[in-house]
């Protein structure tokens, strides 16, 4: 009898130990430790470094020895004509990129949806996604070569009887080139989400429309386009968070002193003033201004995406 | 049926032509560069080369590959890519696994999630990051290129979503059989999510190979430049002060054929992994975006 009782007790104990083992979560914390440490050092510590924006930071004195100057750099930023120009350039370039970066993939998805030869469709998709994966160092080198005054584009234009275009040497043309080449790099990749939303359309909708005598144009307007509107709203609102990102990688690899007045954006300006000229605090202040506006816009646009399209990212 | 009408047929013809032109615009620049790199230098310099090499030869590639600086940068670029991918994938897989657990089971999950996600919304910017790398004495080391990129929150969330798609029964069976979380991850989760791991690895490789700005920022010794930074300095900025080439090398670098050869070698790894990448990323992105 005693024996039986002790046996069941041992079994119970083993079972509880097994249960404990199942419910313990400390290994998960250990798994997260490396990621948490890396994030703390390389993402959160620089945030602490933002106090530089309120100091006259000298690398020799360090973060704790430098003198605090309050809002001086921010006031300077709003008085300095260069920084106003740079903010304006960023807004212009990124608004065009956002608007056309939405329209072009939208239309492209519709056109691609009308292709019924699968092999052709696949080939098109494979080729148009490619530029997205090539860095702006490479693309910048290729474009500066092709768009130079004697490059292949201009020599073709001249042989056709047109005048050469200063693609990268005139401010307005530079903006045009930057916007078009950005759309060119990313439209294919951005089409993916639209194609995904089209894949979810019930084919019987088209059949019913067909029976009702709607032609393909009407089917497109009343079935295909509405199917993509929700995701377009999401993509559009979310890209608002990028309005102060003009695309550093791209501009830095394409611009030159000739087009600073129309093509210089916040990030390139910060790099030059802070890292190259050593005005660390001023550069940090401009960067902080940009990050704060970016954060506010992201929060607002996520709220809007949730409200109007029921879309939740987090 | 609608596609038998003559107006739709006209549209289809127009559509195929338009899509073909768009596709060509995406590949012709690369073909042009390739053609220039294989051409003789005289026609290349006078812009006669279009899409087919004139005076076909390998001279530009010979010169490029014999350039010790290019050699060095290529090696550093490959090193950085391999090291960065291995470290990044280990860190992100571990974290992605832990974050794939339900909040009911792993109570601190949402705290960790917000801890990571916040870094996507707000950042210190380049100046404080630059100062940090200086203070940590990581300037001119490989670690300055590898560690800050070890966590890519977006990729980590993709991994997490892939892990969430693994059937719960597999995990339960493994835990009941006495395996811990580490064992479950290695013996159960990794084998069944190999496609996901492969996709994210390729993403990470491409990101490291393409990164050039961190090299420019954190590395002042040109012999430690990865290839992207090297190409940025030599071809895009045409800044030869840092590289200090000899006269012969300088003459080579300024040649259009040699430039093109360097650009093409810089693109080659991307072109090589692209077919594999392309097979998975469409599925991956949609899965990652829809699930949460």
Q: What is the 3-state secondary structure (H, E, C) of B116-177?
A: HHHHHHCCCCHHHHHHHHHHCCCCCCCHHHHCCCCCCHHHHHHHHHHHHCCCHHHHHHHHHC
**Residue from B125, B172, B214, B259 to probe the interface with A (highest A Cβ count within 10 Å):** B125
**CB spacing of B122 vs A34 below 8 angstroms:** no
With beta carbons under 8 A apart, name residues in chain B contacting A48.
124, 128
With beta carbons under 8 A apart, name residues in chain A contacting B211.
135
Q: How far apart are the first and last CA of chain B?
A: 40
Give the A window 176-205 contacts with B, CB below 8 Å: 184, 188, 192-193, 196
Q: CB-CB: which of B91, B150, B267 is closest to A138?
A: B267
**CB spacing of A49 vs B131 below 8 angstroms:** yes
Tell me whether residue A92 is exposed, middle or buried, using C-beta atoms within 10 angstroms of its C-beta: 0 to 12, 13 to 18, 19 or more.
middle
* The pLDDT of residue B23 is above 90: yes
With beta carbons under 8 A apart, name residues in chain B contacting A216.
2-3, 5, 8, 11
With beta carbons under 8 A apart, name residues in chain A contacting B19.
111-112, 115, 120, 124
Residue B131's nearest CA partner among A222, A223, A58, A7 is A58
The domain limits of chain A are 2-68, 72-309
Main-chain dihedrals φ then ψ at residue A68, nearest 5 degrees:
-80, 135
**CB spacing of A252 vs B19 below 8 angstroms:** no
* The pLDDT of residue B31 is above 80: yes
Q: What is the DSSP letter of B222?
A: G
Q: What is the DSSP letter of B3?
A: G
Look at residue B292 in the predicted model and tell me its pLDDT. 37
Q: CB-CB: which of B47, B130, B180 is closest to A151?
A: B47
List residues bridging with A113 in a β-sheet.
none
Residue B230's nearest CA partner among B249, B245, B241, B243 is B243
**CB spacing of A138 vs B122 below 8 angstroms:** no
pLDDT tens sequence across B161-220: 889 888 888 888 888 888 888 999 999 999 888 888 888 899 899 999 999 999 999 998
- Rounded CA-CA distance B72/B77 in Å is 9
With beta carbons under 8 A apart, name residues in chain B contacting A41.
132, 136, 147
Q: Is A247:A94 a contact under the CB 8 Å cutoff?
A: yes
Q: What is the 3-state secondary structure (H, E, C) of chain A?
A: CHHHHHHHHHHHHHHHHHHHHHHCCHHHHHHHHHHHHHHHHHHHHHHHHHHHHHEECCCCCHHHHCEECCCHHHHHHHHCHHHHHHHHHHHHHHHHHHHHHHHHHHHHHHHHHCCCCHHHHHHHHHHHHHHHHCCHHHHHHHHHHHHCCCCHHHHHHHHCCCCCCCCCCCHHHHHHHHHHHHHHHHHHHHHHHHHHHHHCCCHHHHHHHHHCCCCHHHHHHHHHHHHHHHHHHHHHHHHHHHCCCCCHHHHHHHCCHHHHHHHCCHHHHHHHHHHHCCCHHHHHHHHHHHHHHHHHHHHHHHHHHHHHHCCCCC
Within its chain, how far is the Cα of B253 from the centroid?
A: 25
With beta carbons under 8 A apart, name residues in chain A contacting B29.
142-143, 146
**Residue from A127, A141, A279 to probe the interface with B (highest B Cβ count within 10 Å):** A141
- Count of CB pairs separated by less than 8 Å, A with B: 256
CATH code that applies to domain A72-309: 1.10.3720.10
Q: Is B95:A30 a contact under the CB 8 Å cutoff?
A: no
CATH code that applies to domain B60-290: 1.10.3720.10
From A149, which residue of chain B is nearest by alpha-carbon distance? B47
Query: And the tokens for B93?
Result: 């897989």
Higher confidence at residue B241 or residue B171? B171
pLDDT tens sequence across B5-14: 888 888 999 9
Q: Is B284:B198 a contact under the CB 8 Å cutoff?
A: no
Look at residue B208 in the predicted model and tell me its pLDDT. 95
- Rounded CA-CA distance A106/A100 in Å is 10
* The pLDDT of residue B290 is above 50: no
Q: Is B202:B280 a contact under the CB 8 Å cutoff?
A: yes
Give the A window 78-107 contacts with B, CB below 8 Å: none
Residue A143's nearest CA partner among B250, B52, B30, B41 is B30
- Rounded CA-CA distance B215/B221 in Å is 10
Q: What is the percent of chain B with per-residue pLDDT over 90, rounded to a whole number? A: 46
As a dihedral over the C-alpha atoms of residue B155, residue A251, residue A148, residue B271, rounded to 10 degrees, the angle is -10
ipTM: 0.88
With beta carbons under 8 A apart, name residues in chain A contacting B18.
111
**CB spacing of B131 vs A248 below 8 angstroms:** no
**CB spacing of B285 vs A193 below 8 angstroms:** yes
Answer whether A313 touches B (CB < 8 Å).
yes
Query: And the tokens for B153?
Result: 């929150």
Query: And the tokens for A86?
Result: 């740079």
Residue A182's nearest CA partner among A137, A260, A240, A247 is A247
Stretches in chain A below the pLDDT threshold 50: 1, 314
**Residue from B43, B124, B153 to probe the interface with A (highest A Cβ count within 10 Å):** B124
pLDDT tens sequence across B52-91: 888 888 888 988 888 888 889 999 999 999 999 999 999 9
List residues bridging with A67 in a β-sheet.
A56
Residue A144's nearest CA partner among A252, A246, A245 is A252
Round the average pLDDT of chain B to a whole number and report it. Answer: 87
pLDDT-based confidence at residue B147 (cuts at 50, 70, 90):
very high
Identify the three-state secondary structure at position B209: helix
Tell me whether residue B108 is exposed, middle or buried, using C-beta atoms within 10 angstroms of its C-beta: 0 to 12, 13 to 18, 19 or more.
middle
The domain limits of chain B are 2-45, 60-290
With beta carbons under 8 A apart, name residues in chain A contacting B124.
43, 45-50, 287, 291
Q: What's the Cα-to-Cα distance from B223 to each of A26, A151, B66, B116, B232, rounded to whole Å? A: 44, 32, 15, 34, 14
């Amino acid at each position: 009898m005693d024996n039986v009782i002790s046996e069941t007790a041992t079994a119970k104990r083993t079972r509880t130990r097994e249960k404990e083992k199942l419910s313990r979560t400390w290994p998960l914390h250990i798994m997260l430790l490396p990621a948490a440490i890396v994030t703390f050092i390389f993402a959160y510590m620089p945030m602490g470094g933002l106090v530089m924006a309120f100091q006259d930071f000298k690398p020799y004195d360090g973060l704790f020895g430098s003198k605090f100057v309050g809002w001086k750099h921010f006031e300077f930023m709003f008085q300095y004509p260069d920084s106003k120009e740079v903010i304006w350039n960023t807004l212009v370039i990124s608004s065009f990129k956002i608007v056309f970066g939405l329209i072009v993939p939208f239309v492209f998805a519709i056109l691609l949806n009308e292709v019924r030869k699968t092999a052709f469709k696949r080939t098109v998709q494979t080729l148009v996604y490619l530029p997205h994966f090539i860095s702006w160092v490479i693309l910048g080198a290729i474009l500066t070569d092709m768009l130079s005054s004697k490059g292949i584009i201009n020599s073709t234009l001249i042989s056709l009887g047109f005048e050469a275009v200063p693609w990268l040497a005139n401010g307005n043309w530079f903006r045009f080139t930057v916007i078009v080449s950005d759309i060119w790099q990313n439209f294919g990749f951005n089409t993916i989400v639209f194609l995904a939303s089209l894949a979810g359309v019930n084919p019987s909708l088209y059949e019913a429309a067909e029976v009702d005598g709607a032609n393909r144009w009407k089917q497109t307007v009343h079935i295909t386009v509405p199917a993509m509107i929700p995701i377009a709203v999401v993509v559009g609102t979310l890209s608002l968070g990028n309005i102060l990102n003009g695309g550093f990688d791209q501009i830095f690899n394409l611009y030159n002193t000739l087009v600073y007045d129309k093509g210089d954006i916040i990030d390139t300006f910060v790099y030059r003033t802070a890292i190259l000229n050593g005005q660390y605090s001023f550069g940090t202040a401009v960067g902080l201004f940009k990050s704060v506006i970016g954060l506010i816009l992201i929060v607002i646009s996520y709220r809007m995406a949730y409200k109007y399209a029921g879309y939740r990212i987090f | 049926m609608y596609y038998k009408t003559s107006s739709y047929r006209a549209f289809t013809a127009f559509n195929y032509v338009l899509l073909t032109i768009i596709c060509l615009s995406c590949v012709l620049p690369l073909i042009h560069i390739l053609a220039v790199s294989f051409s003789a230098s005289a026609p290349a310099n006078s812009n006669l080369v279009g899409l087919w090499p004139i005076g076909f030869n390998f001279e530009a590639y010979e010169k490029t590959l014999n350039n010790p600086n290019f050699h060095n940068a290529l090696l550093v670029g490959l090193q950085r890519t391999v090291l960065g991918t291995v470290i990044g994938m280990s860190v992100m897989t571990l974290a992605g696994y832990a974050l794939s657990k339900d909040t009911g089971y792993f109570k601190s999950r949402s705290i960790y999630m917000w801890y990571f996600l916040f870094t996507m919304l707000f950042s210190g910017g380049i100046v404080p990051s630059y100062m940090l790398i200086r203070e940590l004495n990581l300037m001119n080391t490989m670690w300055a290129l590898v560690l800050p990129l070890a966590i890519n929150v977006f990729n980590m969330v993709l991994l997490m979503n892939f892990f969430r798609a693994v059937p719960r029964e597999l995990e339960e069976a493994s835990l009941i059989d006495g395996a811990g979380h580490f064992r479950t991850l290695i013996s159960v989760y990794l084998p069944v999510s190999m496609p996901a791991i492969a996709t994210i690895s390729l993403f990470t490789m491409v990101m490291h190979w393409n990164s050039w700005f961190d090299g420019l920022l954190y590395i002042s010794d040109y012999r430690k430049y990865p290839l992207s930074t090297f190409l940025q300095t030599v071809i895009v900025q045409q800044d030869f002060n840092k590289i200090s080439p000899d006269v012969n090398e300088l003459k080579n670098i300024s040649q259009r054929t040699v430039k093109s050869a360097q650009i093409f070698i810089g693109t080659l790894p991307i072109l090589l992994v692209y077919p594999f990448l392309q097979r998975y990323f469409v599925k991956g992105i949609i899965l990652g975006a829809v699930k949460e």
